[in-house]
């Protein structure tokens, strides 16, 4: 079957998915053709790498009963046809046993194909946070975009793009947990406030093991920061002096003394083992 020809215009930037796909007018959208499913190859540059098999099977069941309602978008190359948009439908159609698929053929470059796939996935919320962040990074590097320009191009707030890119600073094990759905974007944003990688890994493990909420993670991060930072400062500048004061108090009171410091505030503990020892300690404090 032959496809209808349409004049191809260079896609404009920052105008959404429709502007990136040449030949998108209502009249041109009638140019749908059927291709054998074996003639279509997935796009190796597809930003989405993880497909939920359960969702694919559900879509396959729908295709078995109703068919493929929306054509896939493909581009022609020397070896046949490459998917631009619609890989979920292509995978599900294979499971459903279809031999042919409705497609629209469009002339786009490799970069435009990647961008179309990214925008389609974002609009459908099909990317996990790490895939989305990696796709943003690639667009910034390959197109020389600022975060603000990229945000306008994909229809997101600049802060959303910035927060997504920060995920790429996380250790691989934590990024894998995000991909697996064990940690949410909210969990990840809270964990990014932990600068020490050892603390970060332990905190992530605790979040997963105890199924903590985002608010609980934020509280955990604050506790870690308040314990760690003052402790470092004290060790560097006043550790010996604090130990000397504790020893002096213990000699003066004749009892064990403990000090807990949290962010400049803390607790001074005086331990006693009997009421008689308590009386002696109080007498020493009050000068009696």
For the annotated catalytic residues, the residue numbers are 87
Close Cβ partners of 4 (under 8 Å, ≥ 6 residues apart)? 28, 30, 31
- Among candidates 169, 147, 172, which has minimal Cα distance to 158? 147
Give the integer Cα–Cα distance in Å for 51 and 119.
17
The answer to whether 178 touches 204, Cβ cutoff 8 Å, is no
Q: What six digits make up the tokens of 125?
A: 């919320």
Phi, psi for residue 248 in degrees, rounded to 5: -65, -45
Beta strand 80-85 with 40-41 is parallel
Q: What six digits make up the tokens of 287?
A: 């000068």
Close Cβ partners of 84 (under 8 Å, ≥ 6 residues apart)? 21, 43, 72, 73, 74, 75, 106, 108, 113, 116, 117
Phi, psi for residue 25 in degrees, rounded to 5: -75, 160
Close Cβ partners of 250 (under 8 Å, ≥ 6 residues apart)? 256, 257
Give the integer Cα–Cα distance in Å for 78 and 208.
47
């Amino acid at each position: 079957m032959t496809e209808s020809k349409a004049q191809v215009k260079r896609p404009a930037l920052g105008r959404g998915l429709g502007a990136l796909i040449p030949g998108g007018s209502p009249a041109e959208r009638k140019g749908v053709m059927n291709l054998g499913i074996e003639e279509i190859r997935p796009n190796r540059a597809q930003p989405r790498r993880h497909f939920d098999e359960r969702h694919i099977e559900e879509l396959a069941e729908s295709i078995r009963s109703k068919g493929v309602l929306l054509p896939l978008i493909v581009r022609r190359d020397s070896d046949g046809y490459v998917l631009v948009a619609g890989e979920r439908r292509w995978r599900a159609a294979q499971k459903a046993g279809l031999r042919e698929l409705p497609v629209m053929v469009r002339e786009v470059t490799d970069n435009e194909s990647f961008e179309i796939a990214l925008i389609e996935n974002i609009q459908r919320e099909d990317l996990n946070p790490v895939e989305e962040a990696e796709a943003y990074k690639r667009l910034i590097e390959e197109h020389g975009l600022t975060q603000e320009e990229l945000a306008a191009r994909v229809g997101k707030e600049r802060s959303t793009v910035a927060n997504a890119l920060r995920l790429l600073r996380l250790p691989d094990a934590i990024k894998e947990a995000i991909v697996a759905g064990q940690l949410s974007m909210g969990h990840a944003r809270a964990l990014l406030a932990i600068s020490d990688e050892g603390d970060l890994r332990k905190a992530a493990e605790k979040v997963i093991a105890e199924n903590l909420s985002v608010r609980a993670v934020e509280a955990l991060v604050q506790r870690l920061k308040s314990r760690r930072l003052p402790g470092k400062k004290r060790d560097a500048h006043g550790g010996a002096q604090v130990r000397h004061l504790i020893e002096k108090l213990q000699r003066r009171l004749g009892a064990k003394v403990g000090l807990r410091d949290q962010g400049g505030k803390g607790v001074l503990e005086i331990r006693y083992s009997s009421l008689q020892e308590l009386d002696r300690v109080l007498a020493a404090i009050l000068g009696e």
